[in-house]
Amino acid sequence: MDNMFKLCGFWTGIFAVMFFVGDMLPATVIFVASTIFFLLLGYLNLTERMYMYMFGAYLMIFMVGFSYYATFIHVPGAGH
């Protein structure tokens, strides 16, 4: 299970680089934070149950944050 978190860290790192190249700095910061989180968890050698709890907590925080952003902050149709 720890290898899957390292793999998630790798891919979120790739996405962070792509967002940086595309000059999307807020998305870059989010993906760099996710990369650090996943790599940190990947090297902790926790039990599989704890890894599942941590991933569930990550998804919960992401969905709450995304829903808040989409509902209250994002202006549809407004460019940047």
Beta carbons of 1 and 51 less than 8 angstroms apart: yes
pLDDT of residue 43: 95
Which pLDDT score, from 0 to 100, does residue 74 have? 83
For the chain, the distance separating the N- and C-terminal CA atoms, rounded to the nearest angstrom, is 39
- Cα dist. 19→46, 56, 78 in Å? 31, 25, 19
Amino acid present at 64: V
pTM over 0.85: no
Q: What are the pLDDT tens digits along the chain (80 aa)?
A: 899 999 999 999 999 999 999 999 988 999 999 999 999 999 999 999 999 999 999 999 989 988 998 899 888 887 66
